[in-house]
């Protein structure tokens, strides 16, 4: 069976699980940005397609691959896969739900602490011989401990739950919003309290995004959302850059509408020098911390993801239904 992989071959070889099934398949590797004609020339007859989480898999491609049975995101995101076209063609679309939840939760906490403890400005001050000046300024102004923060989670899936678990030892008050409130039996183990989105934005010291990109959530963090937040509050995004209106966030940071932001994801990706969030004027630039979308790419997370992908491929090859289906195909 032919398996097309839109992703880095070296990465797949690094995390290849020891499954005999894999050695029996024909693997075709292409860059995640390969054009449709290039893909079809190399593997139009592929039965399974593994795709980098940010690689587009358009309906036109799906409709031109007659043997296709499964499209599998290498990560959790699947917003760049045409789910409707796949469903119409009877092709399962699956993701690696939960495999990198703990890793992304750790990244969110890193960004929170970097902002609360003035990580960027502090590092630069020490390198420039201004350690005591920076220290005196922080003592005069005050540094907020994470334990004193009310943290609001927008979305309550695997990553948000993993973050709630990790925030509990810090002593944070943790709140959440989701489109549908969870049952009390699901809330209690995580020590979370439900708030409406408006209440959460207005009352929390840290607002952390953990929802998928949909027509409803795209650009949800706009000027109105940021205007509801406290001037002392921070925004954290380890979900998807498309959730945030870049120009609105830039203006909020420049005008001091919020205290700062920590972003592991920025749209579009890869981030370019002309992105409105990249070249902020002083002092706003010290209130924005970037990380290069590496929240979910720990070694352990990749091993879990790749094992799950290959096991799903084996299920499909054996005529069975895969798990973590995201396009509603039974």
Residues taking part in catalysis: 240, 269, 293
101 contacts 79 by C-beta, under 8 angstroms: no
Rounded to 5 degrees, φ, ψ at 2 are -90, 130
Rounded to the nearest 5 degrees, what angle is found at the Cα of 243, between the Cα atoms of 252 and 143? 45
DSSP 248: H
72 contacts 48 by C-beta, under 8 angstroms: yes
Counting Cα atoms < 13 Å in the Cβ hemisphere of 218 gives: 5
The strand ranges marked E within the chain are 2-6, 26-30, 48-51, 70-73, 92-94, 150-154, 173-177, 192-194, 206-209, 234-237, 260-263, 288-290
234 contacts 287 by C-beta, under 8 angstroms: no
Assigned token pair, 235: 């925004």
Q: What is the number of other CB atoms lying within 10 angstroms of the CB of residue 327?
A: 19
Assigned token pair, 15: 């995390």
Q: Is 41 helix (H, G, I), strand (E, B) or coil?
A: helix
Q: Where are the alpha helices (DSSP H) in 44-157?
A: 59-63, 83-88, 101-116, 119-127, 131-141
Rounded to 5 degrees, φ, ψ at 254 are -65, -40
Assigned token pair, 18: 């020891």
244 contacts 252 by C-beta, under 8 angstroms: no
């Amino acid at each position: 069976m032919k398996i097309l992989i839109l992703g880095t071959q070296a990465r797949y070889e690094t995390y290849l699980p020891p499954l005999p099934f894999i050695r029996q398949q024909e693997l075709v590797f292409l860059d995640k940005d390969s054009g449709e004609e290039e893909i079809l020339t190399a593997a139009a007859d592929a039965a399974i397609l593994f795709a980098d989480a940010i690689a587009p898999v358009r309906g036109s491609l799906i409709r031109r691959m007659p043997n296709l049975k499964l499209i599998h995101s290498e990560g959790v995101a699947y917003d760049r896969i045409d789910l409707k076209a796949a469903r119409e063609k009877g092709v399962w679309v699956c993701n690696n739900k939960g495999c990198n939840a703990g890793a992304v939760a750790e990244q969110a906490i890193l960004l929170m602490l970097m902002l609360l403890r003035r990580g960027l400005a502090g590092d630069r001050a020490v390198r420039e011989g201004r350690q005591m000046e920076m220290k005196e300024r922080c003592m005069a102004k005050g540094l907020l401990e994470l334990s004193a923060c009310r943290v609001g989670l927008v979305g309550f899936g695997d990553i948000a739950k993993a973050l709630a678990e990790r925030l509990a030892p810090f002593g944070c008050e943790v709140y959440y919003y989701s489109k549908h409130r969870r049952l009390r039996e699901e809330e209690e183990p995580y020590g979370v309290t439900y708030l409406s989105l408006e209440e959460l934005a207005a009352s929390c010291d840290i607002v952390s995004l953990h929802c998928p990109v949909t027509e409803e959530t795209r650009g949800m963090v706009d000027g109105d959302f940021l205007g509801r937040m406290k001037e002392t509050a921070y925004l954290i995004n380890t979900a998807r850059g498309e959730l945030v209106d870049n120009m609105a966030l830039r203006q909020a940071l420049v005008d001091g509408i919020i205290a700062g932001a920590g972003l592991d994801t920025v749209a579009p990706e890869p981030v370019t020098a002309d992105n409105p969030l990249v070249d902020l004027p002083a002092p706003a630039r010290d209130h924005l911390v970037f990380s290069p979308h590496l929240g979910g790419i720990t070694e352990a997370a990749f091993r879990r993801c790749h094992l799950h992908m290959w096991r799903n491929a084996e299920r499909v090859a054996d005529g069975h239904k895969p798990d973590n289906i995201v396009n509603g195909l039974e």
